[in-house]
Structure 1
Amino acid sequence: MFCRILLLLSALAFTANGAELIFDFTGTPADKLPGGFRSLLAGRGKPGEWKVIHDELPSELAPLSDKASTTTRRAVIAQTGFDTTDERFPILLYDKETFGDFTLTTRFKLVDGVMEQMAGIAFHVRDADNFYVIRASGMGNNVRFYKVVAGQRSAPIGPDLPVAKGQWHELKIQCEGNKIRCWFNGKQPFPELQDNSFASGKIGFWTKSDSISYFAATRISYTPRESFAEVLVRDVLKENPRLLGLRIYLPGDDGAPAVVASNDAKEIGMAGGDSERAVLANGDAFYGKDKGSVSIVLPLRNRNGDPMAAVRFKLKSFPGEIQQATLTRVQPILKDMQAKAQTLDELK
């Protein structure tokens, strides 16, 4: 999958600055699952069969002449698995971002289904048992919102209205704080909702039972989420202005450490070195001197006492400073950091 993430220079609908994520599946081979997504099943039955196919979509540009085509053939994502289990809810989750405030627009088409013909968006997804969803039904001819908490579905909210099979429809969802708004084909099917169950989570394409549904032209404008590691670095620097630098390293999927939070935002994503690897592997401490400064790398331990992150402190040195003196200076700071973050998940 080829995804573009753009910084928006103009104001978003719900925040002054943000980012935009556009799902473009043209780089994914047909019949394959795009990268960055994973299949999730809520309820019972077989997992969804998600893959990229090609279909005709209404052109987003006005035709140049009466003879010009009003459709374009584009790569779309499709759920093609046929399973008539009633409480089967296949979800294709975008796994690379967690969303709080956002505005999403997508097109969908109900293609087939004997038991159901549904398509929708699951959002603020925590797991298969906890999420919001807004979906449209071609058989029921309605648009509904509901939430799933601990696997239990709430009473649906939304009106009856025509949802034609075999046609592309537009769905827009906006979340701001605890406020949820929805538009179906440009009109709001129900008033603004307010709910405090889930403040953030993943976003995914949703279907039900044997619904064969296509999705395309999806874009998400959102406020980038700040990890707790970044919050921690900012707060520590504010409370300890004499620190010259502070970085937190976490292990990646391959185990290699990388910067996830720093006083210099340009360093985020930078690979760690041998000292950070050793700190994460063995809980060792590393000390070094530079002109006018000293650095020390220490483990940030979880509640079980195991290293979960490597923290590099940089301080102004004083004449004759030795490692133990530097350690004494940073230990209270490290202790306070460990009290605020006791698991790896809390840092992410």
Structure 2
Amino acid sequence: MIRLLCLALATSNYVLAAESRETFDRSTQLPQGWQNGITGQGRAKWEVISEQSAPSKPNVLRQSGEATFAWAAKMDAAIKDGFVEVKIKPVSGHEDQAGGIIWRAKDANNYYIVRANALEGNVVLYKTVEGKRSSLPVKGRMFGYGVDAKVPSGKWSTLRVEFSGKLFTVYFNGEKLFEVEDETFSDAGGVGVWTKADSVTLFDDFVFAGKQ
């Protein structure tokens, strides 16, 4: 279900005009305007399924295929500055148990991504350029690999990124974790969700808004 909430939310010196929420409850297909694909090799398997633990019942979006990176996105969202938030539940995976958010997506090979990984116990922000992913340093640190965080397997967590210009702010379960600055992608683009390798991950309550 998508609903538009008219609001005027002042945050980080910009105003968000409307919020869109997707709860994946209207049908068993990907929502209208959404696309899915992979970056790299493999095969994605995105399904809208019934899930007893869903934060907004009855359905969730599940990715259970195996691919270098699998993504599903609303590519026509055309958001430059704003936020994206989603609830994630890592279910299984021997190589990875990851779920993330993509934004300013141009196509299958060019986008920003922040992901939480239950096996590694961290949250990391990357850029993917021409299909090659590279981590971006946390603001105030020259080196390092994201931020350590308790990412539970088999439980729901909330991941959020706010983006304005070159500044990105990452939150996990309501706590601000870190900021990143980067100018690789400055134009508006699509927003969506992402997994890696053999991760089986559930998503629900996908919320986003752009600058007015």
Give me the TM-score of the superposition, normalised by structure 1.
0.55
1:173 pairs with one of 161, 164, 173 = 161
Q: Find the partner of 1:101 among 78, 81, 85.
A: 81
- 2:18 maps to 1:22: no
Q: Contact 1:107–1:170 at 8 Å: present in 2 too? A: yes
1:131 aligned counterpart, secondary structure: strand
Cα distance change, pair 35–172 in 1 and its aligned pair in 2 (3 A)? same
Give 1:40 shift. Answer: 1.9
Q: Which amino acid aligns with 1:53?
A: I
| Residue-pair matches, total | 202
- 2:10 aligned partner, one-letter code: L
Alpha carbons of 1:222 and 1:12: their partners in 2 closer, same or farther (altered >3 Å)?
Answer: farther
Find 1:54's aligned residue among 43, 50, 54: 50
Map 1:277-316 → 2, pairs under 5 A: none
Structure 1: stretches of 5+ with no match in the other structure: 60-71, 225-348
Could you say what secondary structure the match of 2:106 adopts? strand
Cα pair distance change 1:21/1:113, threshold 3 Å: same
Amino acid at match of 1:50: W
> Comparing both structures, which one devotes a greater share of its residues to helix?
1
User: Hey, what does 1:319 align to over in structure 2?
Assistant: none
What corresponds to 1:74 in structure 2?
58
Structure 1 counterpart SS, 2:10: coil
Q: 1:11 to 1:186 in 2, by over 3 A?
A: closer
Indicate the residue corresponding to 1:13 in structure 2: 11
Alpha-carbon RMSD across the aligned residues, in angstroms, is 1.9
CA distance in structure 1 between the aligned counterparts of 2:148 and 2:116, rounded to whole angstroms: 10
Highest Rg: 1 or 2? 1
Change (3 A) 1:155 1:73: closer
Partner of 1:197: 184
> Which protein has greater RCO, CA pairs closer than 8 Å, 6+ apart?
2
Equivalence for 2:142: none
5+ residue gaps, structure 2, are 137-144
Summarize the Cα distance change of 1:216–1:58 in structure 2 as closer, same or farther, 3 Å threshold: closer
The question of 1:183 aligning with 2:182 is answered no
**Letter matched to residue 5 of structure 1:** L
The answer as to whether partners of 2:167 and 2:181 remain within 8 angstroms in 1 is: yes
Match of 1:92 in 2: 72
Q: Distance in 2 between matches of 1:152 and 1:214?
A: 25
Instruction: Give the superposition deviation at 1:58.
Output: 7.2
Q: Is 1:38 aligned with 2:22? A: no
Q: Which amino acid counterpart does residue 172 of structure 1 have in structure 2?
A: R
Q: Any idea what SS the aligned residue of 2:25 has?
A: helix
Name the CA distance, whole Å, in 2 between partners of 1:174 and 1:136.
16
Please report how far the alpha carbon of residue 4 of structure 1 lies from its aligned counterpart in structure 2 after TM superposition. Answer: 2.0
Distance 1:126 1:23 in 2: 21
1:64-94 Cα distance to aligned partner (Å, 9 max, x none): xxxxxxxx6431111122x2x5xx1010011
C-alpha distance in 1, partners of 2:183/2:57? 41
Question: Contact 1:18/1:223 (CA < 8 Å) preserved in 2?
Answer: yes
Which residue identity is paired with 1:22? R
Q: TM-score, normalised by structure 2?
A: 0.87
The answer for the alignment partner of 1:120 in structure 2 is 100
Deviation of the 1:110 alpha carbon: 0.2
Q: For residues 174 and 132 of structure 1, what CA distance do their matches in structure 2 show?
A: 12
Report the CA distance between 1:205 and its aligned residue: 0.6
